[in-house]
Amino acid sequence: GAVVSQHPSWVICKSGTSVKIECRSLDFQATTMFWYRQFPKQSLMLMATSNEGSKATYEQGVEKDKFLINHASLTLSTLTVTSAHPEDSSFYICSASTVWNQPQHFGDGTRLSIL
Amino acid sequence: AQKVTQAQTEISVVEKEDVTLDCVYETRDTTYYLFWYKQPPSGELVFLIRRNSFDEQNEISGRYSWNFQKSTSSFNFTITASQVVDSAVYFCALSEDKIIFGKGTRLHILP
């Protein structure tokens, strides 16, 4: 089946650091990738949708300059949390699709802890 | 606007009991997709099923079954003869141009 690899699986860093998370589709080409954020015991909240070669579409309330998304190829999207602060600590999870209505395949998530 | 409601926040049942997880959705589109995902304690999301809005047939996969009723905008999920390994958070999701998740139901299967 389709595999999505997300790296790193967890990261701890100091406040003010920028953190990059990678999402790769290993055995298929992902036209669309999605980035979600999940706080403990809560649902997944869509942050942004990225299509290969174009700018990401951010959901209302998500700061574009804070969460930089790059989808430079059909197999790789990156999320960079810039100047991270403790309130950015969360579980970030990506998913990838060949088209918008196909079952989304999820990465294993990244646990981000900002000290 | 699209919306997914999972009214059951948390359910506990004894192993081998059957359990149904409810999902009610709202959408103005006639074409949409519904999904169920499982999130075990380790955190990864496991895809369980996708159903499109034109296919109201119920589906059975082993101990899992799904009941899609457009008349009541529901897409319920039943686990038969539950097992401890079924303990997880289960999310129902609706897709129009993007996937929106319900708040999830935390299922505890007690030995």
- Digit-coded pLDDT (tens) for A44-73: 999 999 888 888 999 999 999 999 999 888
Per-residue pLDDT, averaged over B21-27, amounts to 97
Exposure class string for B79-111: b at 16+ Cβ within 10 A, else e: beebeeebbbbbbbbbbbebbbbbbbbbbebee
pLDDT in tens, A2-36: 789 999 999 999 999 999 999 999 988 888 899 99
Phi, psi of A88 (to 5 degrees): -85, -5
| Whole-number average pLDDT of chain A | 90
Q: Give the CA-trace dihedral at B3, B8, B14, B19, to 10 degrees.
A: -50
- Amino acid (one-letter) located at A15: S
| pLDDT at residue A102, as a whole number | 62
**Residue A105: pLDDT over 90:** no
Task: Determine the residue of chain A that is closest to B99 in CA distance.
Answer: A46
- Say yes or no: B44 contacts chain A, CB-CB below 8 A: yes
Which pLDDT value is given to residue A101?
55
The pLDDT of residue A75 is above 70: yes
How many whole angstroms separate alpha carbon B103 and alpha carbon B6?
6
- Determine phi and psi for B41, rounding to 5 degrees: -55, -25
CB proximity A104 to B under 8 Å = yes
Burial A63-98 (b: 16+ CB within 10 A, else e): eeeebbbebeebbbbbbebeebeeebbbbbbbbbbb
A37 touches chain B (CB under 8 A): no
For the record, the structure tokens of B26 come out as: 């709202």
Secondary structure (DSSP) of B39-70 = E-TT---EEEEEEETT----EEETTEEEEEEG
Residues in Cβ contact with A98 at an 8 Å cutoff, skipping those fewer than 6 apart: A28, A29, A30, A31, A32
Query: What is the average pLDDT score of chain B?
Result: 94
Q: Which of B35, B95, B102 lies closest to A43 in CB terms?
A: B102
Distance of CA A27 to the CA centre of its chain: 18
Question: B47-94 pLDDT, tens per residue?
Answer: 899 998 998 888 899 999 999 999 999 999 999 999 999 999 999 999
Q: What is the pLDDT of residue A100?
A: 62
Q: How confident is the model at residue B97 (pLDDT cuts 50, 70, 90)?
A: confident
pLDDT higher than 70, residue B26: yes
Residue type, position A86, single letter: P
Judge: B98–A46 Cβ closer than 8 Å, yes or no: yes
Model confidence band, residue B6 (pLDDT cutoffs 50, 70, 90): very high
Q: In the structure encoding, which two tokens stand for residue A33, read together? A: 């990738």
Residue B53 gets the label, from left (phi > 0), alpha (psi -120 to 50) or beta, of: alpha
Given a cut of 60, whether residue A95 has pLDDT beyond it is yes
* Residue B97 near chain A (CB below 8 Å): yes
Among candidate residues A24, A22, A20, A18, the one with its CA nearest the CA of residue A2: A24
Contact yes or no for A75/A84 (Cβ under 8 A): no
In this prediction, residue A53 carries a pLDDT of 80
